């Protein structure tokens, strides 16, 4: 496998740190550039538990980002949406391909004022962006020629994977879907505020951004692209007092004549030939089964008497929900096996 030079902007954030961990051991990517104001002047090996040539890469400040893109084959943007939008153009101009982990290129142009609070400043770039959730959208082949890839969000990944097997198999109705999802605190980013201090979080549990979470329209868009959506979904995010992982529980109206066996069969059929997906009983869909890995564990059940079906999905929000899926997409962009650099990631139980 010929190696390709990779750079990370925002390497000191949680997703950036996870990317560095994965790329440092990747058989096809060479991590040669790292951008972080926080770590500027420091070698990655001094601030992250990584080894090899990546450990010697010295971080540069964000002001030098544009000049650091020269010679890179791919740039991963682990930055806020506005920053990603601003940096995508110079990265592309330098000849690099871009995988953006922010929400900067995930929604239609008109959705940004409502859901992100700004008017998108680069509609031409937004039109070029290719959004791919490898196990959910049908446009994986578009990655081979894509210059700018929008990586899915963590909550949409877990939510869509919880619903899609049941929708694809016509087990549930597409209207009236409800998603209840819980995430560890790393999903909020690496920032120090009172709300995210240990004393505020430990022993607590709460919903946030109720009925205005920016991942709601992304979930709706992915389901529509997958050919099973079109109706609004109700999505509620919750903050768990744990570091990482997402558990999404999705509720749908059971179609007449469908059973619990149909729900189980739908999940087992959906995960077949998808290397990172696993089927499990609902009570085995848990964070410990996925944290530290690029896996998603799925389950489902149904009650015909109450006409309800429930889908479950657990992922690591920093891996399958961010850095791991970004590498999975990059593998497909460069024509490598999608599992490259990801199949050796391991978690721990308990």
Per-residue pLDDT tens over the stretch 278-314? 999 999 999 999 999 999 999 999 999 999 999 999 9
Determine the longest span between alpha carbons in the chain, in angstroms.
64
Pick 200 or 321 by higher pLDDT.
Answer: 321
pLDDT at 196 over 70: no
Q: What is the pLDDT of residue 14?
A: 94
Reported as a pLDDT band with limits 50, 70 and 90, residue 65 is confident
pLDDT at 256 over 90: yes
On whether the 154-317 domain is CATH 1.10.260.30, my answer is no
Q: What is the pLDDT of residue 188?
A: 67
pLDDT at 255 over 90: yes
Put simply, whether the predicted model's pTM sits higher than 0.85 gets the answer yes
pLDDT digits (tens, 9 = 90+) for 230-239: 899 999 999 9
Delimit the CATH 3.30.360.10 region(s) of the chain.
154-317
- Domain 4-152+320-333 architecture: 3-Layer(aba) Sandwich (3.40)
Reported as a pLDDT band with limits 50, 70 and 90, residue 189 is low
CB 33, CB 59: distance < 8 Å = no
pLDDT digits (tens, 9 = 90+) for 41-60: 999 999 999 999 999 999 99
Annotation says 154 is catalytic: yes
pLDDT at 194 over 80: no
Q: What average pLDDT does range 121-143 have in this prediction?
A: 95
Residue with tokens 């990584």: 50
Q: Give the N- to C-terminal CA distance of the chain in Å, as an integer.
A: 36
**Active-site hit among 59, 78, 154, 313:** 154
Delimit the CATH 3.40.50.720 region(s) of the chain.
4-152+320-333
Bridge partners of residue 33, in order along the sequence: 7
- Name the 3-class secondary structure at 120: coil
Q: What average pLDDT does range 310-319 have in this prediction?
A: 98
Q: Going by C-beta distance under 8 Å and a sequence separation of 6 or more, which residues neighbour residue 223?
A: 160, 163, 164, 167, 174, 229, 230, 233
């Amino acid at each position: 496998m010929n190696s390709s030079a990779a750079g990370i902007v925002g390497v000191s954030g949680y997703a950036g740190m996870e990317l560095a961990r994965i790329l440092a051991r990747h058989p096809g990517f060479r991590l040669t550039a790292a951008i972080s104001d926080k770590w500027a002047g420091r070698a990655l090996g001094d601030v992250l538990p990584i080894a090899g040539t990546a450990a010697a890469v010295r971080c540069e400040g964000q002001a030098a980002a544009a000049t650091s893109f020269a010679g890179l084959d791919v740039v991963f943007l682990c930055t806020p949406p506005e920053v990603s939008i601003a940096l995508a153009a110079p990265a592309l101009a330098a000849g690099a391909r871009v995988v953006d982990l922010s929400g900067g290129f995930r929604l239609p142009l008109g959705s940004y004022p409502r859901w992100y609070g700004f008017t998108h400043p680069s509609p031409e770039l937004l039109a070029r962006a290719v959004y791919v959730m490898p196990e959910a959208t049908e446009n994986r082949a578009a990655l081979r020629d894509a210059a700018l890839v929008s990586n899915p969000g963590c909550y949409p990944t877990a939510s869509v994977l919880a619903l899609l097997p049941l929708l694809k198999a016509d087990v549930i109705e597409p209207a009236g879907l409800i998603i209840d999802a819980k995430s560890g605190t790393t999903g909020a980013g690496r920032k120090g505020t009172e709300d995210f201090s240990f004393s505020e979080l430990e022993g607590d549990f709460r919903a946030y951004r109720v009925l205005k979470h920016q991942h709601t329209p992304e979930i709706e868009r992915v389901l529509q692209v997958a050919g099973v959506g079109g109706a609004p979904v109700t999505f509620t995010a919750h903050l768990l007092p744990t570091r990482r992982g997402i558990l999404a529980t999705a509720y749908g109206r059971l179609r007449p004549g469908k059973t619990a066996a149909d729900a189980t069969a739908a999940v087992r059929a959906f995960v077949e030939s998808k290397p990172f997906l696993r089927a499990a009983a609902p009570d085995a869909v848990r964070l410990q089964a996925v944290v530290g890995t690029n896996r998603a564990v799925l389950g489902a059940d149904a009650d015909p008497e109450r006409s309800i079906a429930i889908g479950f999905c657990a992922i690591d929000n920093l891996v399958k929900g961010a850095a791991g899926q970004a590498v999975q997409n990059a593998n497909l962009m460069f024509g490598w096996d999608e599992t490259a650099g990801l199949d050796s990631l391991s978690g721990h139980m308990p």
